[in-house]
Amino acid sequence: MSGERFFHDYFGTVAEKLNDIDPESLVQAATMVRRTHGSGNKVILAGNGGSAAMASHVAVDLTKAAGIRAMNFNEADLLTCLANDYGYENWVAKALEFYADPGDLVILISSSGASQNMVNGAEQASAMGLAVVSLSGFSPDNPLHRLGDLNLWVASDSYNIVEMTHHVWLLAIVDYLIETAG
């Protein structure tokens, strides 16, 4: 396959996945973020690897560009402390236990939807009465896809396709919140 053909097909796949969501789901996610902010609460984002970087980017954009208080759990000392003391599969749940307040919104991002730390985080958030938005891909039967109040799913088995789609959807939500503020 030529390079030109590869990139044409690749970008076509990305465009297809980006548009393979009911826009009402993105409006619903934005409404959840806006409602959380309007109640004086915060948005908490978490992910692993590329999804953790995405969580950081979106938290900063929500705070700086949209004026919505948001945070993420990407501090090495926090991650290693909680993972060491409670197990890697429990660090998100413990971080939520320590940092989340009633009325906060939790956004959990996992390409596979099978990351046990994200699944346990979703279960902890629900036990605390927090609203949860999940973003996942791969199998539609993945555990995280069943645990959110709103579940955004990408029909792909490619990490990069899933992650790029999640990232664009989340940043589109930020831009929508900015455009519709007021």
> How is the beta sheet containing 70-72 ordered, strand by strand?
70-72, 43-47, 105-110, 131-136, 150-153
Confirm if 151 and 132 have CB atoms less than 8 A apart: no
Name which of 162, 166, 175, 146 is nearest 45 in CA terms: 166
Output the domain CATH number for residue 8.
3.40.50.10490
For position 156, what pLDDT does the model report?
97
Q: How many domains does the chain have?
A: 1
Measured CA to CA, the distance from residue 59 to residue 87 in angstroms comes to 25
Q: pLDDT 10s digit of each residue in the chain, 182 long?
A: 789 999 999 999 999 999 999 999 999 999 999 999 999 999 999 999 999 999 999 999 999 999 999 999 999 999 999 999 999 999 999 999 999 999 999 999 999 999 999 999 999 999 999 999 999 999 999 999 999 999 999 999 999 999 999 999 999 999 999 999 97
User: What pTM, to 2 d.p., does this model score?
Assistant: 0.97
Domain that residue 51 falls in: 3-179
